[in-house]
């Protein structure tokens, strides 16, 4: 059985790494499906598919990393997206995302697994991006094996999306747009 662990991986962090390590032996194969694969660089999606794949494969060179482009988030768009997901040659989708779960159950014949989340309050792509953009320490949130590779892309992360200035000791009320 082949499972696909779906997410945006913006960027791959220790929570994602722990999922791979926990589940990889439960299936014949575990692939990583990178969602929003064709999005223009923006606040929530600063890294391209290729950059995300490089980061993931620095830690897990043997794991297949597959792109999945978004469709409109309408009934029809979700149907097209579900069809592309089915065409990826997997039997099982691993996701904690409510919309993904609904689409997989209603529009595909794939099995669904809700993977365990490892310390989601600590490991978060949003937090890694915020720390990189504000010049705070971020590397302890990502796998050691991925740190150098992510460093290569910090400029892309800093420059995409809204530019903020942060005072040390982050507080929401201290955010200033540049």
Interface residues toward ligand NAP, by CB under 6 A? 6-8, 13, 15-16, 19, 35-36, 70-71, 73, 77-78, 81, 95-97, 99-100, 103, 117-118, 120, 123-126
Contact 95, 7 (CB under 8 A): yes
By C-beta, is 57 or 96 nearer to ligand NAP?
A: 96
By C-beta, is 22 or 148 nearer to ligand NAP?
A: 22
Contact 34, 66 (CB under 8 A): yes
By C-beta, is 114 or 176 nearer to ligand NAP?
A: 114
Neighbouring C-beta atoms of residue 27, cutoff 10 Å: 18
Closest CB 107 distance from ligand NAP, rounded Å: 10
Closest CB 159 distance from ligand NAP, rounded Å: 19
Residue nearest to ligand NAP (CB): 35
By C-beta, is 105 or 167 nearer to ligand NAP?
A: 105
Closest CB 44 distance from ligand NAP, rounded Å: 8
Closest CB 95 distance from ligand NAP, rounded Å: 5
Closest CB 91 distance from ligand NAP, rounded Å: 18
By C-beta, is 26 or 176 nearer to ligand NAP?
A: 26
């Amino acid at each position: 059985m082949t499972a696909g662990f779906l997410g945006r991986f913006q960027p791959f962090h220790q929570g994602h790494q722990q999922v791979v390590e926990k589940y990889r032996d439960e299936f014949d194969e575990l692939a990583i499906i990178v969602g929003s694969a064709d999005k223009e660089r923006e606040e929530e999606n600063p890294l391209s598919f290729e950059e995300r794949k490089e980061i993931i494969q620095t830690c897990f060179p043997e794991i297949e990393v597959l792109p999945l482009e978004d469709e409109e988030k309408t009934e029809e768009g979700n149907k097209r997206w579900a069809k592309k997901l089915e065409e990826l040659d997997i039997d099982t989708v691993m996701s904690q995302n409510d919309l993904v779960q609904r689409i997989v159950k209603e529009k595909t014949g794939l099995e669904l697994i809700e993977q365990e989340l490892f310390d989601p309050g600590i490991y978060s792509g949003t937090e890694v991006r915020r720390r990189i953009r504000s010049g705070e320490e971020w590397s302890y949130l990502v796998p050691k094996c991925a740190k150098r590779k992510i460093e290569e892309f910090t400029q892309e992360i800093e420059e995409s999306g809204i530019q903020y200035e942060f005072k040390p000791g982050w507080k929401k009320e201290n955010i200033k747009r540049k």
